[in-house]
Amino acid sequence: KPYEVQDLLVANPHDSTQYRIMGRADDLLVLSTGEKVRPTNLEQKVLEHPDIKDVLAFGAGQVCLGLLIELSANRFDSADIDQPETCAAILSSIQPYLERGNSFTDKHGKVSNEIVVLTRESTRPFIRTDKGSMARKSILAAFGKEIQSCYEKVDIQNALPFPSLYDGGYALLDSIRSLVHGIIGYNNITEFMDLFEAGMDSLQASRLRRAILNGLRVTPDLPILIEDIETDFCFRNSSIEKLYLAVARPVSGSQDENGIHETREEHRIWAMEDMFQKYHDVLRSFERLAAHVHASRLKRRPAAGQKKVVLLTGSTGSLGCFLLACLADDPDISKVICLNRLHTDTTSPRQRQMDLMSKCGAYMSNQAWDKVVLHGADLSRYNFGLDEDHFPELLGATHIIHNAWPVNFNRSLASFAPRSLSWLPVNRASNILTEPLFSKGLKPFYHMENPSRRSWQGVMSNLSDILGERHGKPLPLIPLKKWLGRVRDLGEDHQRNVAYKFYHSWSGTLR
């Protein structure tokens, strides 16, 4: 009679008698964001510290993961781990092991020093079963107060009060901007840029939400007392400008139906229907172009007996690793061309791919690897940033799998809508700009990561490359004021000076 085990097993694709034990079925933690974390590798790496007896991850239902660490007897028997200096010294010694453990975990499952609870084997040991294994539920219940206190302390310790709107809101806007830049890690994010398109992940969104909530909690003399905000607050207000407007309402005391506590289902349904209709109409305008592309692809289908060539993006992700393994193992496929983000480290693209596949448990034979071609690419650049020797290889692809998409179940609908000119050519924000892109003799500019924000500077740089191709070098970029002056001097003849239609809209810049 078969025995049902509680362990998760993965079969070796090359030997059906071998299995890898991935951990206990009850090890899986589901965060409040809906994301799932299996912390087994993280726990094992931290456990390699010579003065740690056991490690237990926690965080089910919380916004981020934390660790309970049981320190070995002897060395820490006389140390008072409740003292800040002692605790800091212990955490400092654990830090290299924690960083290594985090390297085996997705972004939403990484642990910071602030969410670590220490205990000693000699004074308050972990609860264990008769077999000697950790009684996970009992341990988490026993340390429930410490865990909750840990989250609350992290939430409040760095909270800064928000300024009032005495100066028209500029100080509050600067405060929100600083919070965003500090949490995401770089300061080139503009007020209108979507934060998730700029690279913010769900863990950073959770940190930003807590920072805003605690800022409101410690802000004196608020007209409206704020005890909590929605868990998806940053997903629904996914730009600095939207965050500023959402925070300004309770600061000024002018809450409304779109304020910080909005939960109306009717508004969500209306927003979905409105966005659907908007982009349905936009896509309908490309019917003729789509038909032309479809006809061209039919002509490029492989003949009977001819093997397929697959272009794959996102092969370094968990799903991408297994996709690559399946494709390369398919006898009907002769080549798999992988386009992945450029990396600055010295590891070769192939070695990096192999390392990531090994982590995921995806395996390929040497024969399968011979089919794989890896390129570092930037999908927003002309020819994806590939040189003239490598880009033509992509034109032989018979199938394209675009797998490079952010996996984030909490992104709001609004965060997918571009503002101004964010992606081309689907969002025809300016017919004046996009019409030349489809003119005869000019290569159209496509942005494959749709929708993905590009700044005006980035778009103009791409256009400079494309339009300058016939001259053998990029067209020079000049300031708008200088360009408008040239447009004015060229005169109002619309046949000779098609750009004149821009002039009256922007002529105030010349004053």
Contact assessment for residue 36 and residue 318, using Cβ atoms and an 8 Å cutoff: no
If asked whether residues 86 and 190 sit together in one domain, one would say no
If asked whether residues 208 and 226 sit together in one domain, one would say yes
Cβ partners under 8 Å of residue 228, min gap 6 = 213
What percent of the chain is predicted at pLDDT more than 70?
74
Beta partners for 336? 310, 372
Which residue reads 């084997």 in tokens?
A: 121
Which residue reads 């034979």 in tokens?
A: 365
CA distances from 122 to 37, 72, 79, 131, 132 (A): 30, 8, 11, 20, 16
If asked whether residues 14 and 59 sit together in one domain, one would say yes
Read off the tokens for 393: 């290889």
User: Would the pLDDT of 388 be above 80?
Assistant: yes
Mean local confidence (pLDDT), 369-381: 86
Beta partners for 377? 341
**Residue 338: which pLDDT band, with cuts at 50, 70 and 90?**
very high
Q: Tell me how far apart the 2 most distant CA atoms of the chain are, in Å.
A: 91
pLDDT tens for residues 141-150?
999 999 988 8
Side-chain half-sphere CA neighbours of 385 within 13 A: 13
- Virtual torsion, Cα 506, 507, 510, 511, nearest 10 deg: -110
User: Would the pLDDT of 111 be above 70?
Assistant: yes
Cβ partners under 8 Å of residue 56, min gap 6 = 43, 67, 68, 70, 126, 134, 136, 139, 140
DSSP 413: G
CA distances from 132 to 55, 142, 479 (A): 14, 17, 72
User: Would the pLDDT of 344 be above 90?
Assistant: no
Whether residue 364 is contained in a domain is answered as yes
Q: Residue 169: which CATH number?
A: 1.10.1200.10
The residue among 124, 156, 188 that closes a domain is 156
User: Would the pLDDT of 452 be above 70?
Assistant: no
Looking at the chain, how many residues does it have? 511
Q: Is the full-model pTM beyond 0.85? A: no
Whether residue 240 is contained in a domain is answered as yes
Confidence (pLDDT) at 52: 92
Query: Other CB atoms closer than 10 Å to residue 50's CB: what's the count?
Result: 8
Contact assessment for residue 239 and residue 266, using Cβ atoms and an 8 Å cutoff: no
Confidence (pLDDT) at 453: 41
User: Would the pLDDT of 331 be above 60?
Assistant: yes
Domain encompassing residue 375: 300-402
If asked whether residues 317 and 350 sit together in one domain, one would say yes
Beta partners for 12? 15
Confidence (pLDDT) at 437: 38
Beta partners for 11? 19
Phi-psi region of 384 (alpha: psi -120 to 50; beta: other; left: phi over 0): left
If one compares 6 and 337, the residue with the highest pLDDT of the two is: 337
If asked whether residues 19 and 137 sit together in one domain, one would say yes
If asked whether residues 341 and 357 sit together in one domain, one would say yes
If asked whether residues 129 and 172 sit together in one domain, one would say no
Contact assessment for residue 139 and residue 147, using Cβ atoms and an 8 Å cutoff: no
- The most confident of 78-82, 326-330, 462-466, by mean pLDDT: 326-330
Confidence (pLDDT) at 424: 35
Residues 495-500: contacts with CB under 8 Å, at least 24 apart: 499/432
Contact assessment for residue 342 and residue 404, using Cβ atoms and an 8 Å cutoff: no
If asked whether residues 147 and 172 sit together in one domain, one would say no
Whether residue 217 is contained in a domain is answered as yes
DSSP 384: G
Confidence (pLDDT) at 505: 56
Whether residue 279 is contained in a domain is answered as no
If one compares 158 and 251, the residue with the highest pLDDT of the two is: 251
The residue among 156, 188, 214 that closes a domain is 156
Confidence (pLDDT) at 117: 92
Contact assessment for residue 231 and residue 207, using Cβ atoms and an 8 Å cutoff: no
Run of H or E including 336: strand 333-341
User: Would the pLDDT of 374 be above 80?
Assistant: yes
Beta partners for 59? none
If asked whether residues 313 and 392 sit together in one domain, one would say yes
Mean local confidence (pLDDT), 219-225: 84
**Residue 427: which pLDDT band, with cuts at 50, 70 and 90?**
very low
pLDDT tens for residues 161-185?
999 888 888 899 999 999 998 888 7
User: Would the pLDDT of 418 be above 80?
Assistant: no
Cβ partners under 8 Å of residue 227, min gap 6 = 217
Confidence (pLDDT) at 498: 67
Confidence (pLDDT) at 100: 92
Mean local confidence (pLDDT), 239-267: 71
Confidence (pLDDT) at 142: 93
* Dihedral sign (CA 353, 359, 365, 368): negative
If one compares 392 and 416, the residue with the highest pLDDT of the two is: 392
Confidence (pLDDT) at 311: 92
In this structure, of 274-278, 378-382, 435-439, the range with the lowest mean pLDDT score is 435-439
- The most confident of 83-92, 199-208, 328-337, by mean pLDDT: 328-337
Whether residue 293 is contained in a domain is answered as no
Mean local confidence (pLDDT), 89-94: 90
Phi, psi of 69, deg, nearest 5: -120, 125
Whether residue 292 is contained in a domain is answered as no
pLDDT tens for residues 269-328?
777 787 788 778 777 877 887 787 777 767 766 666 788 899 999 899 888 999 999 999
Mean local confidence (pLDDT), 193-198: 80
Whether residue 147 is contained in a domain is answered as yes
Mean local confidence (pLDDT), 475-503: 75
Phi, psi of 280, deg, nearest 5: -65, -45
**Residue 446: which pLDDT band, with cuts at 50, 70 and 90?**
very low
Read off the tokens for 95: 């830090």
Confidence (pLDDT) at 451: 37
User: Would the pLDDT of 468 be above 60?
Assistant: yes
Q: Residue 36: which CATH number?
A: 3.30.300.30
* Dihedral sign (CA 449, 451, 455, 459): positive
What are the percentages of helix, strand and coil residues in the chain, rounded to 5? 45, 15, 45
Confidence (pLDDT) at 255: 55
User: Would the pLDDT of 263 be above 50?
Assistant: no
CA distance 257 to 267: 10
If asked whether residues 94 and 13 sit together in one domain, one would say yes
Confidence (pLDDT) at 130: 86
**Residue 383: which pLDDT band, with cuts at 50, 70 and 90?**
confident
Read off the tokens for 219: 């802000």
**Residue 396: which pLDDT band, with cuts at 50, 70 and 90?**
confident
The residue among 252, 286, 311 that closes a domain is 252
Mean local confidence (pLDDT), 235-255: 85
Please state the domain count of the chain: 4
DSSP 6: S
If asked whether residues 321 and 422 sit together in one domain, one would say no
Phi-psi region of 132 (alpha: psi -120 to 50; beta: other; left: phi over 0): left
Return the amino acid letter for 326.
Answer: C
**Residue 58: which pLDDT band, with cuts at 50, 70 and 90?**
very high
Whether residue 442 is contained in a domain is answered as yes
DSSP string, 107-145: GGG---GGGEEEEETTTSPPPB-TTS-B-HHHHHHHTHH
- Virtual torsion, Cα 371, 375, 378, 382, nearest 10 deg: -90
If asked whether residues 87 and 196 sit together in one domain, one would say no
